[in-house]
Structure 1
Amino acid sequence: MTKTTTTIIAFALTTFVCLAQKYNIDMQVTKSDLELTSYAKDSTANALIIYDYGNSYIDKETFWLTCQVKQKIKILRKEGVDLGVVEIKLYKGKSSKERIKDIRGTTYNLENNEIIRTQLKQSAIFEEENENYTLVKFVLPNVKVGSVITFSYETRSRFIAKYQPWYFQSSNPVLYSEYNTSIPAIYNYHVKLVGSIPLSVNDIKLQRNCLEVGSGGSADCTISKYVMKDIPAYKPEGYTTTDYNYISRIEYELNEIVYFDGRKDKISKTWKDVDKELKSDADFGRQVSRKSLVKKVLPNDISSISDKLKKAKAIYQFVLDHYKWNEKYDRYDVSVKNLVKEKIGSAFEINLLLENLLTSEGYKVYPLMISTRGKGLATKIYPVLTDFNYLILKVIIDEKDYFLDATEPYLSFGELPFRCLNQYGRLMDFEDGSYWEDIVVEDYSTISHRIHLNSFTSNGFNGLLGSKFSRYHAHDLKNAYKQNPFTLKESRVNDYKSININKHDIVDSGMDSANFQEKIEFTLEPELIADKIYLNPFIIKFFEVNPFKLQERTYPIDFGYKDSYTYTLSIDLGDNLKVLELPKPANIILPNQTGSFVFNIDLTDDILTLFFKVKFDKAIYGPEYYDALKLFMNNVVKTQNNTMVVLQKV
């Protein structure tokens, strides 16, 4: 036996070294800016935003919100030339629309060691009208690889509810981004910083009497300066939710207006206010815990079940079997009464029906408003009802909590669709007040393959494959099997191309469990050279390639759930085979014992056994784990792709 090698992957410390290259952090373009051809911290960058400046304030005369924008960008690759086309959306309202003025732009190129400037022409500025906004587009001239472009403009708006948000991060790296604001005290905003990148500068001061009106009215202003430096590009990659959760930016939500005469207008509300409104809301609160809505809906054979958990499961299955989800999330025009009649409805309607059925049978049930993974995390700082687009339930049975959603037939009792795994939601308790509830999946989702190869014959190996998929790894298979069992069986021929499938059986379709199991009988023809057999033991691979490829990732790795992958292969060598060469075992551990990879080999009584297991003990890993996870997955993929067992015919 080969001695097992253990590796502990430690955190990689990112050290910013002093770069020989030096870009000028201002709007002035120098020869140095033009001569430089790369950005050392991101060799794949299409462009580098050298300088990004914004200044927003309320105009003293018009009271319009004014925002001045300036940018200086270096074009590094062909794909970055598109940044020479700038688009700005100006939103329209019922009585007002945003405006733009003073659009200026210049392209700088280095020709014969001289800086050549080409100005933006008025004829290169275009406008496209839409029902909701005006799209202003301008095209900078003579932009090519190596160019530096600068542009500036000023927008004006009467829409102050959101003030002017500022995006520090973009799809290209940013050397320096500065945002300045001047907010009169008559406007009180909730301010939210999104993303994991810290501010380099966060200066706030007070300016007295910055805004004055007739009759002696005046207001002080809060003057703020926010700066971020060396901002990595936001590059989308797998295992995450919507980009909007993590792109570094600053946002505003108007909380209160204090008029010059002392009157106050409360704009945003507290959760106490929202709870009161939702309790009497015709689309929500007035359809919660209303026995009259589900009178005579539940069959007597279900109502008569004495065991509380069995009855709850039967009620849940009843809804799954008799009511179909129309794939809509709508929170408005909700009618449980119509759902009972039509047998089809939205997620809100189906889950409110389930809530009413469970409540009518004496269960303690709470509606839980959530934001799905594709929409973004709900704001916790203040209530924003538009953040929530979905409804699930929390039911308490024998002091144990269960999260329920009755929209998908492949879900087992206590399971949620993957779209719902978005960290937390707002639990609506109309008696004691709503509160934030974490949505945590405690159980591991697993895939397990057990393969046995019988004694070698002249045609290769005969084999038996038993596979078990649990929870989230089983959902797609359960759904596919329910839709068409034969299509699923046929797809395995394409999935497992290294074997010839002779027989395929579904052992457990998962309709009454959280699992899906199948059994396959197959033949395998390994590579033969003379009397030697070369066999990659990974007939099935969990990961064909490493999903983590970025140089740097600033947002979490969000699997949604904890999971585990197990692969066991046994080969009956019999009397006609012997082992010539075996791979080396491995044991790799993620930082803080948050995951592991084990690969072992054993030879006992002519049975060669290989054991491979990858386990992730966290549903969400912070970006500080990224380098370790990338190295971890490199080892996992390398083991699957490059492992070879060499046998010899005796």
Structure 2
Amino acid sequence: MKKLLFLLLFSNITISQNTFNTENFSVSNSDIELNTFKQDTTANALVIYEFGNAEIDKKRFNLIFNYQKKVKILNRNGFDKANVSIYLYNSGKNKEKIKNLVATTTNLENGTLRRTNLDASQVFEEKVNANYTIYKFTLPDIKEGSVITYSYTLESPFIYKFQPWYFQEDIPKLYSEYNTSIPGNYNYNIKLVGELPLKANSSQIQKRCIERSNGATADCTVSKYSMENIPAFIEEEYMTAAKNYLSRIEYELKIIKGFDGSVKNITKSWESADVELKYDDNFGKQLKKEKLVKNLIDKESLSLFTNDLDKAKYIFDFVKNNYTWNKYYRIFKDVSLKDIIEEKSGNVAEINLLLYNLLKKHNIKVYPILISTRDNGFVTKLYPVISEFNYIILRAEINGESYFLDATNPSLVFGQIPFECLNEYGREINFEDGSRWVDINLDSYTSSQYNVNININDDNTFSGTVTIIKIGYKALETKKRYRKNETDYLKYYKNTYPDCSFEDLKIEQDDSNNSTFTETFSISAPLTTIGDKIYLDPFIFKFLSKNPLQLNTRTYPVDFGYKDLLIYNIKINTNNKYKILDLPEDKSIQLVGNSGLLVFKNKKEDNLAELYFRTNFKNSIYPTSYYTELKSFFKNMVDIQNNSVFVLQKSN
């Protein structure tokens, strides 16, 4: 029995010495001695323990936030985690303050723990603007293997937005816990963002937590939230703003109930927000400027159109070709249709609201839509926060069909909006029937098709023609590049593929209202020869230099913005002077639910060889459950592109 007890104790000691201390803020021997994190070998630093507690001060009714953090520095690339910046908000005489800062670096030296404390002289405050100050400090004596700890109290008079909590950041965390105490007379909208699950999510009522001298009391809701083994949030290709997905808890004050029985609504409803927007100088009043625009377009030109769709396209072309976007958004600031008409240049709101008034003047049913761009993040649907919107597009309704419109870019076609606007949803404003959420999604595909025909020449070169057809957003990108330098457009290909020569460019359908861009040119290049064999890379044009998906795990969806189709077809004529020895191996891959397809086929017949490569992403957004499969899908795309070769031998 004693032997068994000894073994159990020894086992517990061994385990404790090989795991980080995630139980509390104190630095243990294992925190110092362990210098690897097997769950994520790419991590440069690691949050071992994080704790926060927020409550409303019972006397002054300020927000009091206490914070503790313990971080392991795994290597030199993690030294930047010793630089801490805390943003403090101030408005007028009210300001947030930091108190009770304690910061320590712990190192293992000659078998003993050595602690170095932050000196008060190493703390700085930097004014960012009229409303923000950065409280900054750098922990001392940082080395590989250091453990840094710091704690502080933040006091804020701004209780309208309760202290948010970020479970996730750019390094992994082993444990993160947030405790809150909120008096019952403060009603907050609470939003949990991200896909990571909570380990703890509990609440209980604390009776009479606040008592006033007049006998009034309030109960408090005491809550605990925690997560463990939180992966680092690393930004990667095919995503919208990081703040859409960082796992966190956010608060927005909705109602304050006074001890005298009064009720103050802080968060507006969409009904009240619509009323404010209707009378806003920079928005609602700009929707009623039909008198300003009535003589902008020649009536005789419009009379030539017998249907509303052609008329709407003409008006759209008129605005995008005659008024220039000045690169400012400013959808609720400095918006004046009078100014843009006079100056021929304006911000996003001015250009699209000018289009709105012109369409409405000529009896086209049209609505403005407030949106947030991809890099600006999603807007909350729980309650109206007008400041979260940063862009305006339109929706025209013609013959039962809807068309999203944006006139800021001359390369955009009727019914197309900029890629940055593909951010899932927006708020359509209708002052008669009330505003509503609308999905910003596309049923149509964006596609690229490459048709290559080449001949093998006697001088160990190849020559031929290339036709590239692009539709949708791929066409938009190419149109921009072409119009930027029409006279030397082929320079792009020459710089990208320096071993090849490109000549005789022909552009078809370069129409301002055509979503297709077709280019044809001739191509020639030397071949790789070894003895009497020729080695030809059939992928003359490369689509991926590497796999864009590299993470071990990804906690946010893969968002292409649109459905994407790629077709690459090359035909090789050997002119009966070469025989085809080897072709790459065919391959076919299908994503779960038939949501994506890869087809790779090769064939030879007499003196002809042909390669056909196709990828089809049938969804514009794939949830995280698809990540591993998509990562493998892209790997196959890269491998096929980089490892395919045609082997030809001179005929006798």
Per the shorter chain, which TM-score range?
Answer: over 0.9
How many Å apart are 1:183 and its aligned residue?
Answer: 0.8
Alignment of 1:219-618 (within 5 A): 219-288=218-287, 290-304=289-303, 305-331=305-331, 332-618=333-619
How many Å apart are 1:290 and its aligned residue?
Answer: 4.3
The more displaced of 24-33 and 107-116 is: 107-116
The corresponding residue for 1:36 is 34
Give the structure-2-normalised TM-score: 0.94
Q: In structure 2, what is the Cα distance between the partners aligned to 1:21 and 1:317?
A: 68
How many Å apart are 1:283 and its aligned residue?
Answer: 1.8
How many Å apart are 1:510 and its aligned residue?
Answer: 4.1
Query: Does structure 2 conserve the Cα–Cα contact (< 8 Å) formed by 1:499 and 1:539?
Result: no
Query: Does structure 2 conserve the Cα–Cα contact (< 8 Å) formed by 1:478 and 1:510?
Result: no
Q: In structure 1, what is the Cα distance between the partners aligned to 2:510 and 2:16?
A: 59
How many Å apart are 1:136 and its aligned residue?
Answer: 2.0
Query: Does structure 1 conserve the Cα–Cα contact (< 8 Å) formed by 2:414 and 2:513?
Result: no
Deviations 1:260-313 (A, max 9, x none): 101111111100111122122222122225432311112124421112211111
The corresponding residue for 2:632 is 631
Deviations 1:464-490 (A, max 9, x none): 111111111111221232233023222
Letter matched to residue 39 of structure 1: F
The corresponding residue for 2:108 is 110
SS at match of 2:609: strand
Query: Does structure 2 conserve the Cα–Cα contact (< 8 Å) formed by 1:481 and 1:509?
Result: no
Runs (4 or more) in structure 1 with deviation over 3 Å come to 18-21
Q: Paired residue for 1:22, among 19, 22, 36? A: 19
Q: In structure 1, what is the Cα distance between the partners aligned to 2:485 and 2:585?
A: 42
Deviations 1:53-89 (A, max 9, x none): 0000111122211000001111111111222222222
Q: In structure 2, what is the Cα distance between the partners aligned to 1:129 and 1:308?
A: 55
SS at match of 1:429: coil
Q: In structure 2, what is the Cα distance between the partners aligned to 1:95 and 1:287?
A: 36
How many Å apart are 1:547 and its aligned residue?
Answer: 0.8
Q: In structure 2, what is the Cα distance between the partners aligned to 1:648 and 1:107?
A: 68
Q: In structure 2, what is the Cα distance between the partners aligned to 1:152 and 1:334?
A: 46
Query: Does structure 2 conserve the Cα–Cα contact (< 8 Å) formed by 1:498 and 1:539?
Result: no
Letter matched to residue 527 of structure 1: T
Query: Does structure 2 conserve the Cα–Cα contact (< 8 Å) formed by 1:289 and 1:359?
Result: no
Q: In structure 2, what is the Cα distance between the partners aligned to 1:492 and 1:20?
A: 59
Query: Does structure 2 conserve the Cα–Cα contact (< 8 Å) formed by 1:104 and 1:153?
Result: yes
Unaligned runs of 5+ in 2: 1-14
Q: In structure 2, what is the Cα distance between the partners aligned to 1:19 and 1:117?
A: 22
How many Å apart are 1:632 and its aligned residue?
Answer: 0.8
Q: In structure 2, what is the Cα distance between the partners aligned to 1:252 and 1:487?
A: 54
Letter matched to residue 239 of structure 1: Y
The corresponding residue for 1:143 is 142
Query: Does structure 1 conserve the Cα–Cα contact (< 8 Å) formed by 2:583 and 2:603?
Result: no
How many Å apart are 1:455 and its aligned residue?
Answer: 4.2
Q: In structure 2, what is the Cα distance between the partners aligned to 1:317 and 1:137?
A: 52
> In 2 relative to 1, CA 482–129 (structure 1 residues): closer, same or farther, beyond 3 Å?
closer
Q: In structure 1, what is the Cα distance between the partners aligned to 2:456 and 2:91?
A: 76
Letter matched to residue 295 of structure 1: K
How many Å apart are 1:368 and its aligned residue?
Answer: 0.5
How many Å apart are 1:451 and its aligned residue?
Answer: 0.5
Q: Paired residue for 1:123, among 121, 124, 144? A: 121
SS at match of 1:567: strand
How many Å apart are 1:639 and its aligned residue?
Answer: 0.7
Q: In structure 1, what is the Cα distance between the partners aligned to 2:485 and 2:88?
A: 49
Query: Does structure 2 conserve the Cα–Cα contact (< 8 Å) formed by 1:596 and 1:615?
Result: yes
The corresponding residue for 2:154 is 155
How many Å apart are 1:21 and its aligned residue?
Answer: 4.3
The corresponding residue for 1:98 is 96
How many Å apart are 1:109 and its aligned residue?
Answer: 1.6
Query: Does structure 1 conserve the Cα–Cα contact (< 8 Å) formed by 2:17 and 2:29?
Result: no
Deviations 1:165-218 (A, max 9, x none): 111111100111101111112211111111111211111111111112221121
Letter matched to residue 614 of structure 2: K
The corresponding residue for 2:206 is 207
How many Å apart are 1:606 and its aligned residue?
Answer: 2.6
Q: In structure 2, what is the Cα distance between the partners aligned to 1:148 and 1:283?
A: 52
Query: Does structure 2 conserve the Cα–Cα contact (< 8 Å) formed by 1:173 and 1:231?
Result: yes
Unaligned runs of 5+ in 1: 1-17
SS at match of 1:288: helix
How many Å apart are 1:35 and its aligned residue?
Answer: 1.4
Deviations 1:552-575 (A, max 9, x none): 111111111111111000011222
Q: In structure 1, what is the Cα distance between the partners aligned to 2:385 and 2:127?
A: 30
SS at match of 2:264: strand
How many Å apart are 1:609 and its aligned residue?
Answer: 0.8
Q: In structure 1, what is the Cα distance between the partners aligned to 2:503 and 2:322?
A: 38
The corresponding residue for 2:78 is 80
Give the structure-1-normalised TM-score: 0.95
Higher relative contact order (CA 8 A, sep 6+): 1
Counting matched residue pairs gives 633
Letter matched to residue 419 of structure 2: F
The corresponding residue for 1:4 is none
> In 2 relative to 1, CA 400–177 (structure 1 residues): closer, same or farther, beyond 3 Å?
same
SS at match of 2:91: coil
Aligned CA RMSD, in angstroms, stands at 1.6
